[in-house]
Amino acid sequence: MIGRMMMLDGAAFHDYLQSPKVDKISRLLLIAVGILYGIISILTNWTYVSGFDSQVLKFFVVPGIFIIFGLLTALITRLGLSLLLWASSKGFGGKGMLGQVNKAASVSLVPGILSVPFLAGSFNIAVIALLGAGLIWMYLVSVQIVKATQGFDAKKAYLASLLSFVFLASIYYIIVPS
């Protein structure tokens, strides 16, 4: 089902939200994405991580910290994106249903994995391309979430999601150090 959602199949979003296991799937997906965020951050910063003399620091403590921060990043991003999608949807006359938006927002974090090297401080043309692809894909998944949870037509869903992403980008611009 998640694979179909990543391919932007609108029916898959409805199936996901109607699944009796949606809470469990949402939590597991959030944890998996958070761990992947952490692992990518470790790999992106391997020169730093491998620079520790202590084997315990190098292979357990520092990677553990990266994974914890990956989990926190995923959790905070899901919460922020959920609230923004919910608020912009309400602004366009949507039903609200923050719980459903929040459960589905875990799915929108999956394409964000492509953006992690950028957030970890790696800057080159490939990383910038991955950032752009990840954000566009994340936006398109968010459009499908808004359509499924709010019953919007495509135009309203694209506008509501766009407003959310503009605000989310401004938050990351303020929070993420340059």
Q: pLDDT (tens digit, 9 = 90+) per residue, 74-101?
A: 999 999 999 999 999 999 999 988 999 9
pLDDT of residue 177: 62
Q: Is 109 left (phi over 0), alpha (psi -120 to 50) or beta?
A: alpha
Domain ranges of the chain: 2-175
Question: Taking 90 as the threshold, does the pLDDT of residue 32 lie above it?
Answer: yes
Mean predicted confidence (pLDDT) in 114-132: 81
pLDDT for the residue numbered 126? 86
Q: DSSP string spanning 111-152?
A: GGGGGHHHHTT--SHHHHHHHHHHHHHHHHHHHHHHHHHH--
Percent of the chain's residues with pLDDT above 90: 76
| Torsion, CA 18, CA 98, CA 166, CA 156, rounded to 10 | 60
Distances in Å between the Cα of 133 and the Cα atoms of 38, 82, 128, 138 are: 20, 21, 9, 8
Is pLDDT at 175 greater than 90 in this prediction? no
